[in-house]
Structure 1
């Protein structure tokens, strides 16, 4: 679907359409987390490993090596403040926003595989999927350069399209299911008015590449509220809330990696 078609298929409506989500998770600028209704699962954002094996060189090592050869240009007036920030900042290797399979030479690396290798839980008790997970894989903050870690703030492209396909199978109206999509102000940079779009579930795959957004929706839900998707701008996982039949389908799907985290519901 071309950009113009996406904008025709998904029409902006008043931000009040998302106000009901504020009842669950008030005042959140990074997306609304709904409670279990009646069940919930988290889709873990995909990560990838270089097929030739891991290396000890980190993303931060590469960043500093490049910066030593080609120092970044600094605007006048930036002074020593930006220079100091650049010196102490760590390039973790984690992307923010849309991502997808990195291409030839990379394989899908499951969270469970990495967690099993380090003898730690996939997601520690009491935590949500985020930068406090799999700590032994990035103990100093930066991942091995041979790993593309999970992205923050947005489900990866392949998982988004797979999710939409499963939602279609669990929505009685199929393609014609009327849905709403909310984008948090950290995505839109609009702090005055909530950004909410309305369209059909059959067109929801194209939302991933909406030309005005850098991310998939922060929340997507069926108009009848039978299921809700939540993607926080600060997390590495996307929560899906709905009937147990949908959640069990997600957990069993071979293309997705999903977990139940009861303490988040």
Structure 2
């Protein structure tokens, strides 16, 4: 759920990394096809159809929670990446921060692309650190969207301190940070979409200033002017199943 109604908001761009010791002229797709041809990997077959028959491209775009890739990798900010192309991230883009901001085709194996659907470890720790310094962090709610849990019939909301979010992320593959989390007093709101490579944080002007000043978080202001998101009152007034599920927003 992406809601408006706060004083200010900013996008936290999910982290990406670069390893200059790896070839920048070989894409993830080329590398995968080479390993399949060499017999190191097998093609992915689903219902008798191969996902490696040339009709699909291995882009290198990750999904879900990720963290620093390890030795040899350094942080590559979005601004640094776009500066190499003589561009400014987000300028004239019709969509929120996502793979659509970047060039088509597969990524080079030397770049670890910012993952979709979840805050990364470095950004999540920095964000929680900023939020922990605010009184509202002691009583928060955490909501995982259905796409991240695979459960489309039940809505489950967890409660705890904002620092408890790391317990919800869990261990292993296929994990996500909560799609939404917010304090009981509704003074701020965090929104992570399954298909986006950034997380939107809404709240007071001083909170947004603190996020923008953080040395670890990479932030960006982006709003689509012709399609503003609905405010809480508008969404709650909708006589639909979705609106009824949003009843926890009522004060």
TM-score by length of 1: 0.78
- 1:131–1:236 contact (8 Å) kept in structure 2: yes
2:170 matched residue in structure 1? 209
- 2:180–2:190 contact (8 Å) kept in structure 1: yes
2:84 matched residue in structure 1? 117
Alpha carbons of 1:186 and 1:233: their partners in 2 closer, same or farther (altered >3 Å)?
same
1:221 counterpart (155, 163, 182) = 182
CA distance in 2, matches of 1:197, 1:74: 36
Task: Name the SS for the 2:106 alignment partner.
Answer: coil
Structural mapping, 1:170-209, within 5 Å: 171-174=134-137, 177-209=138-170
What is the deviation of 1:252? 1.4
CA distance in 2, matches of 1:73, 1:120: 37
Which runs of no fewer than 5 residues in structure 2 stay unpaired? 230-251
- 1:96–1:151 contact (8 Å) kept in structure 2: yes
Which runs of no fewer than 5 residues in structure 1 stay unpaired? 1-31
- 1:184–1:195 contact (8 Å) kept in structure 2: no
- 2:140–2:181 contact (8 Å) kept in structure 1: yes
TM-score by length of 2: 0.82
CA distance in 2, matches of 1:57, 1:181: 40
Which deviations, in whole Å up to 9, do the C-alpha atoms of 1:14-41 show, x marking residues without a partner? xxxxxxxxxxxxxxxxxx1122511100
What is the deviation of 1:51? 3.1
Aligned residues: 224
1:87 counterpart (51, 54, 62) = 54
Alpha carbons of 1:36 and 1:173: their partners in 2 closer, same or farther (altered >3 Å)?
closer
CA distance in 1, matches of 2:85, 2:69: 24
Structural mapping, 1:34-183, within 5 Å: 34-52=3-21, 55-70=24-39, 72=42, 78-79=47-48, 82-83=49-50, 86-125=53-92, 126-135=94-103, 139=104, 141-169=105-133, 171-174=134-137, 177-183=138-144
